[in-house]
Structure 1
Amino acid sequence: MTLGSHCSLQVLKGAKDEGFKTLLVCEEKRCDMYKRFKFIDSIVPVKNFEEIIDADFQTDLVESFNPILIPHGTLISTLDMAAIESIKIPIFGNKWILRWESDRVLKQQLMNESDLRSPVQLASKNEINGLCIVKLHGAAGGKGYFLVTNKKEFEEQAQKLVESKTIKSEKDLFIQKYANGVPVYLQYFYSPISNELELLGIDRRYETDIDAIGRIPSKYQLSSIIEPSYTVVGNIPIVLRESLLPEVYDMGERFVKASKKLVPPGMPGPFCIEGVYDNTAKFTAFEFSARIVAGTNLFVSGSPYSDLLYDVPMSMGRRISLEIKRARELSKIRLITT
């Protein structure tokens, strides 16, 4: 079971490939689109996703389908953490770590514990001196991010977000020194059953308008007032130089170890470490996502990395269902759900 958004198609296609019945909770306005796909066995329409926290709604789903909920970015952006943690339907992975993803202070604590090189964090707008990026808390697909070089620019952009009711106040913003480099998103899967970490794919995001600005000649950029945005519209596959892979695996292993220490039971299932490679091939991590990410949609038929591990097309969605199947066969479902 998952919500009709984000990466639901590959999640349910993967579940069907592993022999499961599939269930989609879908906003009414999108039901017609999802009815096109025959691997979706049942669609439960709702007016909005907030309905899933209703106790009677959950009871009906459990009695009718006995589902496991696969969380993704829409769940986090739609519901607050208390609501997610109150859900009685079994959730694949560790629902408690989603709070650490959504809170940038907790997020930085876990990244530090993982010994991930990360950008300098600024405690106040008064510390801004040079190029910085300002971000919102939570999973918003880059929405609301902006660049600043001084306190005045920060205040002007923050006020726009307050006026649009995107945020309540400046306190809802998080300031980092800008890390220059090629954006890279590392897609991992950790199995507590086998105690193995897998690298299943790598991508980068295509973001407006920051990526589109490069198509405008410089003289027109300088004469135009363009406030670059970072709203994600799609993803692009990447294959790294093979010499970089040892560090990629090391970072993932450290993250798994740190998550077990700080947020038991740790990080079962999919997660993503997000950052940039600079001109010395050093990786700076500025984010993590503690669940499946939309960049995995690139690899419904498998990626260059999953192909090295599996003899069948292995999307992240299918890998989740494979783990659930193994857990059921071994009576270890509690290892992978909360």
Structure 2
Amino acid sequence: MHVHNVILQLVSVATLGSHCALQVLKGAKDEGFKTILVCEKKREKLYRRFKFIDELIIVEKFSDILNQEIQDKLKQQDAILIPHGTLIAQMSSEEIESINIPVFGNKWILRWESDREMKEKLMREAALPMPKPVTDPKDIEKLVIVKRQGAAGGKGYFMAANEEDYNTKRNQLISEGVISKDETLYIQEYAAGVLAYLQFFYSPLTNELEFFGVDQRHESDIEGLGRIPSEQQLKSKKVPSFNVIGNSPLVLRESLLDEVYTMAENFVKASAKLVPPGMNGPFCIEGVYDENAQFSAFEFSARIVAGTNIFMNGSPYTTLIFDEPMSMGRRIAREIKEADTNNQLKNITT
């Protein structure tokens, strides 16, 4: 049996049972924390398998974490909630901001991640190179990708070549119940090249930026289309989906790393200016390298991303920073431990 560290810390670490919960709570346990999982009843069986989860709080749906009774349970154990993509997908910004237990990082910046116009504003402030947004379907002149608001995991995204193509596909997805007719869609010129999701951690305790790793996402069923001969593709009327199924690791050419750090440093500075207290903790800059190795950023995630699950034992880049296996989940727990020891928890939570 693997023996985990004895619980040493007074605060505990909590998260929702989805996305990267296993990585987060394993990392917290390795740093000596009590671990709490807010778990939907339907997933209880899965999470009971893992001995490093000390307590499961069973709920019918994740938004039950907004109930006073659940928050009181977490408060009694001095829990710090680690936000991830499921929190953003399942709750509105107002609901997330109303959570009255400490949230790791900056809960106010999650609104900027969920709202496409705010997201674009922050990326511009950070001077990130970006594909051009298209404000009206009638202005579509070249291939675009159409996205939904918030963290939808790629479901309901589609490509369009012109206004007619956009309307046809949008109407088809509405009729299939994938998107609703009144939701606001975001149109962006499609950037072709090698996809790269750049993972970082910024510590307000040391004012240091750490580059954690790179992943790529595997999306269904767009990825399978390459296996279908073009003749059959042309006959198909199905709108391909970009639903994220999993992730795989990537290592960049070393000559690209200087720009990677610069982009992230600019993003941290812009966040501190527009959304105090800034981009504390894990984040991801998501984009594509073109044929000239120029990066174009189409998204950011202002919290831990599921691509970090690849690196539960560390990544090629964390090996350069730490002399021990360091996942993003463990790095979060290490930051909480440092802050707790030095009476600075208020500097790393909101």
Q: Give the alignment's TM-score, normalised by structure 1.
A: 0.97
Amino acid at match of 1:134: V
1:91-125 deviation line (CA, Å, top 9, x unaligned): 00000000000000000000000000001111111
User: SS of the counterpart of 2:53?
Assistant: coil
Shift in Å at residue 294 of structure 1?
A: 0.4
User: SS of the counterpart of 1:22?
Assistant: strand
Amino acid at match of 2:184: D
Amino acid at match of 2:244: V
User: What does residue range 227-306 of structure 1 map to in structure 2 within 5 Å?
Assistant: 227-306=239-318
1:110-161 deviation line (CA, Å, top 9, x unaligned): 0000000001111111101121110000001111100001111211222234
Q: Does 1:96 align with 2:108?
A: yes
CA distance, structure 1, for counterparts of residue 135 and residue 163 of structure 2 = 13
- How many percent of aligned residue pairs carry the same amino acid? 59
Q: Does 1:121 align with 2:133?
A: yes
CA distance, structure 2, for counterparts of residue 212 and residue 166 of structure 1 = 19
CA distance, structure 2, for counterparts of residue 171 and residue 152 of structure 1 = 19
CA distance, structure 2, for counterparts of residue 76 and residue 164 of structure 1 = 24
1:272-325 deviation line (CA, Å, top 9, x unaligned): 000000010000000000000000000000000001111111000000000000
Q: Is the 8 A contact 2:147 2:156 kept in 1?
A: yes
1:55 aligned partner: 68
Q: Does 1:43 align with 2:56?
A: yes
Distance 1:316 1:2, change over 3 A: same
1:225 aligned partner: 237
Q: Is the 8 A contact 1:158 1:170 kept in 2?
A: no
Amino acid at match of 1:218: S
User: What does residue range 1-338 of structure 1 map to in structure 2 within 5 Å?
Assistant: 1-63=14-76, 65-169=77-181, 172-338=184-350
CA distance, structure 2, for counterparts of residue 160 and residue 216 of structure 1 = 22
- Aligned-residue Cα RMSD (Å) equals 1.2
Shift in Å at residue 222 of structure 1?
A: 3.2
User: SS of the counterpart of 1:273?
Assistant: strand
Q: Give the alignment's TM-score, normalised by structure 2.
A: 0.94
The alignment covers a number of residue pairs equal to 337
CA distance, structure 1, for counterparts of residue 178 and residue 27 of structure 2 = 35
CA distance, structure 1, for counterparts of residue 172 and residue 86 of structure 2 = 24
Q: Is the 8 A contact 1:76 1:98 kept in 2?
A: yes
CA distance, structure 2, for counterparts of residue 157 and residue 150 of structure 1 = 11
CA distance, structure 1, for counterparts of residue 198 and residue 47 of structure 2 = 28
Q: Is the 8 A contact 2:288 2:295 kept in 1?
A: yes
Shift in Å at residue 54 of structure 1?
A: 1.1
CA distance, structure 1, for counterparts of residue 302 and residue 61 of structure 2 = 24
CA distance, structure 2, for counterparts of residue 13 and residue 268 of structure 1 = 21
User: SS of the counterpart of 1:199?
Assistant: strand
Distance 1:167 1:216, change over 3 A: closer
CA distance, structure 1, for counterparts of residue 248 and residue 148 of structure 2 = 23
Amino acid at match of 1:211: E
Q: Is the 8 A contact 1:2 1:70 kept in 2?
A: yes
CA distance, structure 2, for counterparts of residue 80 and residue 224 of structure 1 = 36
CA distance, structure 2, for counterparts of residue 163 and residue 225 of structure 1 = 14
User: SS of the counterpart of 1:68?
Assistant: strand
Q: Is the 8 A contact 2:16 2:86 kept in 1?
A: yes
Shift in Å at residue 57 of structure 1?
A: 2.0
2:11 aligned partner: none
Q: Is the 8 A contact 1:208 1:231 kept in 2?
A: yes
Gaps spanning 5+ residues in structure 2: where?
1-13
Amino acid at match of 2:81: L
Shift in Å at residue 35 of structure 1?
A: 0.6
User: SS of the counterpart of 1:211?
Assistant: helix
CA distance, structure 2, for counterparts of residue 6 and residue 21 of structure 1 = 20
Amino acid at match of 1:60: K
